[in-house]
Every structure is written in C-alpha cells, then in structure tokens.
Amino acid sequence: MLLYADDIETASVLECDLCIVGSGAAGLTLAREFSGQQKRIVLLEAGGLEFDPDTQALYECEAVNPRTPPLTEMRLRFFGGTTNHWTGTSRPLDALDFQPRRHVADSGWPFTLDHLAPYYRRAAALMQVEPSFSGNAPDGNRPLTFDSPWLETDHYFRINPLRFAETYQDDIVKAPNIRVVLKANVLSLTADPTASRVETATVATLSGRRFAVRGNAFVLATGGIENARILLGSDDVEPHGLGNRHDNVGRYYQDHPNVVDSSQVAFTTYSSSILYYLHRVDDQEVGRHGYFWPNPAAQQLWEMLNCGIWLMPIEEVKTTPGLVSLRHIGRKLGDGRMPDEFTKHLLRAVGDIDGIFATAYRKVAGIGPQLYTTWFWSECVPDRDSRVSLTDERDALGQRRLRVDWRIPDQYVHTYQRMHELMAHELGRAGLARMRINHAGPGEDPRAYIASSAHHMGTTRMHADPRLGVVDADCQVHGVENLFVSGSSVFPTYGHTAATYTIVALALRLADHLKQGFT
Amino acid sequence: MTGPSFARRWFLGLTALFALLGSAGTRAFGTTGTTPQPAPGSALLHMLPDRSHAAVIGRAYLASHPEEAGLDAVLRHLEGLTDASGDVRGAIAARLRRDFEERDTVRLDGWVLARTEARLCALCALLNDRERPVARLSRDAPAQPRYAGAVPTAISAAATRRPSARRTL
C-alpha cells in the first residue's frame, strides 16, 4: 500500500511490527524480504516518487573539507534513494577488509568474509549481477598475466546501475503487509526512560503534519550521514543522542577518496588484455572494469591501505567541451531536472559532434590507445576525528543541520605513493609498461586532487565492544534492544570498492536476523 | 604538468626506449612481434631509432644527477652493456628487470624509469651533444660520427648502422 504522509492525521499513531526508515538500497532490500509475510511493515520515505527540490534541500549541510561535494548532489531523497542515480559499481569487500590489520588502526569487522559470502551471493541475484569478480571475465576478456609477487591483475567490478525503486516497487507496494509512507521525514526516535528501547518514531512533513509510528523494532536505513543525524537528534532521553553513550555516533566518517589522472601508463606494446581494465558493457548491458590490486602481502609489507588502480582511455579525462555538456545534460535529466542553460549545452554538444563521435567510436569499437591514464581508489584509515556532527542551524523541519568534517589521514598519502610506485616497478619489471606518477613529487599532496565517491561510511560503526562502536555484529545499536542500523554507516573498515553491494548483503543478513525473533 | 610539446617529446622518448626494449615487451605479453635476434657486434645505440627524443629524457637525468654528467661516468655505470659481443638486448632487458626488482629506479618528470634506461638516455644525450650536428641516425643516410674517437669502438660503430625495424606505439 502506498500512502502519503500528508494524508495521515496529525498526532495519529501508526502501529507496526517493523518500522523501516529510508527506501534506498538497504531499506528496499529489507522491506522486500518481508513482502507477503505475517509481519506488519511500515516503510517511511522522506521524499515522494520523484525528485523534489524542497525535500532534497533538507540534505543541505556544512562541509569543512572543501573537497566534500554538497550532500544535495550526492544523495537522492525520494523513493529508491540514491539508487536512482548510482553508477552500479559492485564488488564484495576483500577478505582482508574484515580482518584486523596491524598497520591500519581500528580495522576489522566482527566477522569474516566467509560469513558474509552467502549474503553476497543473494545480493548478486537481487542486483542482477553474476557473483564472480575475478579471473577471466564472462565477456571473454582476459587479464594481463605476469609473474608478480605483489600485484594482482585479475579482479574486476561488475557495473549494473539497477534502479531499485523501478525494479522492486511492485514487490513492496503491492504487498498486503507493507505500508509505504511517502513524504514522511523522521525527525527523531523516542526511547523509553532508560533509553534501552525505542517506542516511536516522530514523523513530519514539509506541509506541517506530524504523527508517530510505533513499532516492535526499528531500522534506520537513511544513508551513511542521515543515520547518524537521526541518532544524534534523538536526544530527549540521552542528551548526546541515542546510542551515543561512548561518543561514537557520527565519528569515523569516511568516503572513498579517488584521484582521476593519478598517473599515466605507457604500454610497450598493445595487448587485447588491456581491455580488461577499461570500462566496457556487454550485450546484457552489464559493465565490467578490471583493476590492479596490491595483494595482502604487499599491503602488509609496505603498510598500505587497501586500494586499486583502474585504467582509463586518456580521452575520457582530457574530455571535449561537447562531452562535458552532454554529461551535464544527462546528469540533470537523470536527477529528474531540466538542465540549466539547456540550449547552451545542447548547442555545444552538437558543435562538438566530432569529439563525441571519436570517443564513442573508441568505446564501441573497443579500441584503446597505448597511453592510458589511471584512476586511483583507496580506503582511508578509520579516524575518530573525521566526523559528522550537529550544528545549531535548523532546516525547514526544525532539524539541526549537519557539519561534515571529512579528514583524510597521512596514511592515504603514503598509500598513494607506494601503490603507484609498486605498479610502476612491477609493470616495468615485467617489461609491460612505464608509468608517470602525478601529484607525488616533493611538496605535492594527492589529497589536493581527490574527489568524493559519495560513499558515506562509518558513522554508526560496527564493533563488538560498545565503547568502540555504535552497533554490534547484528547491526543492533548497543544498549537499545529494538533499534538497528542498515547501510554503509555500520562499516568499521571501508575497503576500496563501492559500498552498495555490501549494503545489500548486510540488509539481507539483517532481514534474516529480524525474522528470527525481533519482530 | 608540463606543456604539450614537452610532454610529446617525453612520449617520443619513451617510444624510443620501448623500441630498444621491444623484446621484453613482446615476451611479457606473449604476443607475436619482431623476435629480437642476438646481434653480434651491435651495441646500444644501434637499437635506438631516434636518439634525439631519448636524449630529452637523458638530459633530465643528467640535470638531476650532475655527478654523472660525463661520458666516462655514464659508460662506467653501463659497463657490461657496452660490450659489443653477446646478446646486448638481452643483457639490457635483464639489467632493467633487475633495476625494477631492486627498486633502483629514478623519477624523471614523474616517469618511473629503471636507472639503467635513464643512463642509456643520458648516453644518448651526451653523444648527441658531442656529435652534433653530424651524428643523426637516419634510415636513408647514416652519418659518420665526427668525434667517434672518444667513444668506445663498439658504440661508434653501432651508431653508424641503420636502426632495426622501428616499433611504434
């Protein structure tokens, strides 16, 4: 059933067994798991079925690091959440991401990759990608093979930008036991006097309605930043926010910093295996993109963070004005908005049809030059001082806005240099290529060139010890028996891959856990 | 980043290097290509189809390593490779592999090069400076080096030979 919050009487109370807050990858996955079952589900979504600028403006926040793009551009606040514009890049975390590493402070998860593997397989089916990410690619491309004790070359990402809302809307909206309430912004959670149990969620609309949802269990699935915002704002019983007795909520915030054109690679001769490392799309419209990866021994020896280097045709970086305009138009239309200066951009695209055609031809024909640029992706070391926190400024609903203070520790710089050097040495040793490393000379700092990946993680981190984390291994908020968090905010260590695949795997795992008795 | 013309010269310099190192590249990729043949009596410069571009890299190396800014010093470091007998190309490839394995590399304009190949480029630069303007390698009209007397015989002899088939990027 689909409802709009504006149709619900002020001061009324919706009763349910499970209240899910947020309808992005995590929220929709969870809700779908309960579709057609006995439990009564309420799924609260802050936006409607389409983009709305007034609702989106509720994401506005203060950014301390100028490299942090506006949250309003990174997340989408309507049914389906950010899956309405995500790129679809999928890959599980690596085994080492789950392990404590001596050279990465505060690293490790409370369980292993093997434990999560069955959920990854289910996530693959749900996200319509094959659960294989290494070796020869199903599209026939083979990786470079050469003997290297440090560098692995046979891993790849799957790229399928599945629109969750479009794909699974019927499964959820038509389920008799699920009520989807749109335009329903959760302001806070109200706990019992001991803050050991959530009783209700307070919901508000931009038109002024307010009501409550009472449930046996609650799941926050509003994204890596908003999850923390709701907990911090739930301060009627716990003055510093629910689940925040040890001052961990909002801390350890991280993103995957990435650097485009981090280096150039000049291959000594052409090999079709180079295609393995370029973004390509097969007949089923599933994309793949291989990368170079420092193996665990290399990471340990040189005390590197987990990272990877992708190849790109140099044209994609040294792009033409027409391509820039074309991408601008596509991005805006993808967000459901009319591009500003539409005519100007369209004319520019038409005027540069040669440049666009040349790039398109290369993609279609699979022709690559022998000089490539690289794209560097890395995790960051968990850092308590990298955080989101509440400001005194209020949004249209009276909620306190957030300050995002994204910090990238020095170990990132070390990793950037080491990884590029490692790849340069290994490709050079094999006689394959020479590399030119950018932003790593004396006095240079690659952090000046990073971009955000819009992967917001860590703000409600998972840890068995309540002093060191916000949620336990079951994603239950420490000390609050019926409150759970789903999404990348629970990642205690981040890996170098996109987060959504793991978000979905964790949501499936949480659904199994909730089915066992919490609802 | 440097200007486009300078970057282009670097790229052409690398191209020249890769022509020199062609055997290593084809071996690693496992693709077909020109099979390098041991060339008795050949030497380093024989394998560089375009010394002037390699010299761009060489000058950068010499600028950052002024202690090697002399023909004698560079040749001393390249000892074993300048011997005209044997498989020079194979010897170079082995030396480069060793350099990369031992992380004995140099960073020139951001490019990570084996120290040996940087020195080979330095040799080009020094010889170019010495022989200018006569000693140009050309497929059509090989020139005689004017100052060959100061250069080991094998190298000066090689410098007059036609370059092998040029590999392009």
Give the E-state strand segments of A287-344 in sequence order.
287-294, 307-313
Q: Can you spell out the DSSP letters for B90-151?
A: HHHHHHHHHHHHTT-EEEETTEEEEHHHHHHHHHHHHHHHHHTTT----SS-PPPPTTGGGS
Which residue in A85, A62, A65 sits closest to A73, CA to CA? A85
Distance in Å, alpha carbon of A441 to nearest chain B alpha carbon: 7
pLDDT at position B131:
64
CA–CA separation, B88 vs B152, rounded Å? 15
CB–CB contact B110 A436 (8 Å): yes
pLDDT at position B161:
34
CB-nearest partner of B110 from A144, A428, A437: A437
CB–CB contact A434 B24 (8 Å): no
Question: Residues in chain B whose beta carbon is closer than 8 A to a beta carbon of chain A?
Answer: 1, 11, 14, 17-18, 21-31, 33, 93, 96-97, 99-101, 103, 105, 107, 109-114, 167, 169
Coil, strand or helix at A215:
strand
In whole angstroms, how large is the CA radius of gyration of chain A? 23
What's the sign of the alpha-carbon dihedral B24, A136, A158, A272?
positive
Coil, strand or helix at A27:
helix
Long-range contacts of A113-122 (CB under 8 A, 24+ apart): A116/A92, A116/A502, A116/A505, A116/A506, A116/A509, A117/A92, A119/A505, A119/A506, A119/A508, A119/A509, A120/A92, A120/A501, A120/A502, A120/A505, A122/A505, A122/A508
Q: Which residues of chain B are within 8 Å of residue A267 when distances are taken between CB atoms?
A: 25, 169
pLDDT surpassing 50 at residue B37: no
Q: Which residues contact A100 (CB under 8 A, 6 or more apart)?
A: A107, A108
Q: Can you spell out the DSSP letters for A372-394?
A: EEEEEEE-----TTSEEEEEEEE
Which residue in B1, B2, B130, B145 sits closest to B55, CA to CA? B130
Chain B residue with Cα closest to A429: B97
CB–CB contact B100 A435 (8 Å): no
Neighbours of A260 (CB within 10 A): 16
CB-nearest partner of B21 from A144, A145, A268: A268
The alpha carbon torsion through A20, A22, A28, A30 (nearest 10 deg) reads -30
pLDDT 10s per residue in chain A (519 long)?
Answer: 999 999 999 989 999 999 999 999 999 999 999 999 999 999 999 999 999 999 999 999 999 999 898 889 899 999 999 999 999 999 999 999 999 999 999 999 999 999 999 999 999 999 999 889 999 988 888 999 989 999 999 999 999 999 999 999 999 999 999 999 999 999 999 999 999 999 999 999 999 999 999 999 999 999 999 999 999 999 999 999 999 999 999 999 999 999 999 999 988 877 889 999 998 888 777 889 999 999 999 999 999 999 999 999 886 444 555 666 666 666 666 666 666 666 666 666 665 554 554 444 344 333 334 789 999 999 999 999 999 999 999 999 999 999 999 999 999 999 999 999 999 999 999 989 999 999 998 889 999 999 999 999 999 999 999 999 999 999 999 999 999 999 999 999 999 999 999 999 999 999 999 999 765
pLDDT band at B93, cuts 50/70/90? Answer: confident
Q: Which residues contact A141 (CB under 8 A, 6 or more apart)?
A: A272, A273, A275, A276, A280, A288, A290
Please, are residues A234 and A495 in contact by the beta-carbon 8 Å criterion?
no
CB–CB contact B14 A273 (8 Å): no
pLDDT at position B156:
31
Which residue in B127, B112, B102 sits closest to B52, CA to CA? B127
CB–CB contact B96 A428 (8 Å): yes
Distance in Å, alpha carbon of A497 to nearest chain B alpha carbon: 27
Chain A residue with Cα closest to B168: A269
CB–CB contact B112 A269 (8 Å): no
CB–CB contact A434 B93 (8 Å): no
CA–CA separation, A121 vs A129, rounded Å? 10
Chain B residue with Cα closest to A370: B169
CB–CB contact B21 A435 (8 Å): no
CA–CA separation, A250 vs A489, rounded Å? 9
Please, are residues A379 and A306 in contact by the beta-carbon 8 Å criterion?
yes
Q: Can you spell out the DSSP letters for A412-481?
A: HHHHHHHHHHHHHHHHHHTTSEEEEE-S-STT--GGGG-B--S--B-TT-B-SSTTT-SB-TTSBBTT-T
pLDDT band at B136, cuts 50/70/90? Answer: very low
pLDDT surpassing 80 at residue B38: no
Distance in Å, alpha carbon of B168 to nearest chain A alpha carbon: 8
| Whole-structure pTM value | 0.82
CA–CA separation, A492 vs A253, rounded Å? 10
Q: Which residues of chain B are within 8 Å of residue A434 when distances are taken between CB atoms?
A: 14, 17, 111-113
pLDDT surpassing 50 at residue B142: no
pLDDT surpassing 50 at residue B157: no
CB-nearest partner of A428 from B27, B109, B114: B114
CB–CB contact B107 A441 (8 Å): yes
* More confident call, B10 vs B115: B115
CB-nearest partner of B11 from A146, A270, A371: A371
Q: Which residues of chain A are within 8 Å of residue B109 when distances are taken between CB atoms?
A: 436
Distance in Å, alpha carbon of A195 to nearest chain B alpha carbon: 57
Q: Which residues of chain B are within 8 Å of residue A435 when distances are taken between CB atoms?
A: 111-112
A132 alpha carbon, distance to own chain's centre:
20
Which residue in A261, A266, A263, A262 sits closest to A431, CA to CA? A266
CB–CB contact B1 A438 (8 Å): yes
Q: Which residues of chain B are within 8 Å of residue A273 when distances are taken between CB atoms?
A: 29
pLDDT surpassing 70 at residue B41: no
The alpha carbon torsion through B93, B99, B103, B107 (nearest 10 deg) reads -80
pLDDT at position A363:
43
CA dist A118 → A39, A99, A115, A496, B48 (Å) = 24, 18, 7, 21, 56
pLDDT at position B8:
60
Please, are residues B16 and B50 in contact by the beta-carbon 8 Å criterion?
yes
pLDDT at position B39:
29
Chain B residue with Cα closest to A147: B28
pLDDT at position B169:
31
Which amino acid belongs to residue A127? M
Distance in Å, alpha carbon of B146 to nearest chain A alpha carbon: 33
In whole angstroms, how large is the CA radius of gyration of chain B? 15
* More confident call, A441 vs B130: A441
Chain A residue with Cα closest to B108: A436
Mutate to test the interface with B, among A146, A150, A267, A268 (most CBs of B within 10 A): A268
CB-nearest partner of A271 from B21, B23, B29: B29
Please, are residues A12 and A184 in contact by the beta-carbon 8 Å criterion?
no
Chain A residue with Cα closest to B27: A431
CB pairs under 8 A between A and B: 84
Q: Which residues of chain A are within 8 Å of residue B27 when distances are taken between CB atoms?
A: 431
pLDDT at position B121:
87
Containing H/E element for A231? helix A226-233
Instruction: Using a CB–CB cutoff of 8 Å, tell me whether A431 touches chain B.
Output: yes
pLDDT at position B26:
31
ipTM reported for the complex, 2 dp: 0.81
pLDDT at position A471:
98
Distance in Å, alpha carbon of B110 to nearest chain A alpha carbon: 5
Q: Residue B126 corresponds to which tokens in the numbers above?
A: 């020094």
Chain B residue with Cα closest to A265: B111
pLDDT at position B10:
64
Q: Which residues of chain B are within 8 Å of residue A371 when distances are taken between CB atoms?
A: 11, 169
Distance in Å, alpha carbon of B56 to nearest chain A alpha carbon: 15
CA–CA separation, A221 vs A234, rounded Å? 15
The alpha carbon torsion through A294, A298, A304, A307 (nearest 10 deg) reads 10
pLDDT surpassing 50 at residue B155: no
Total number of residues shown for chain B:
169
pLDDT at position B2:
45
| Average pLDDT of the segment spanning B56-71 | 91
pLDDT surpassing 50 at residue B149: no
Which amino acid belongs to residue A29? T
CB-nearest partner of B25 from A263, A273, A431: A431
pLDDT band at B132, cuts 50/70/90? Answer: low
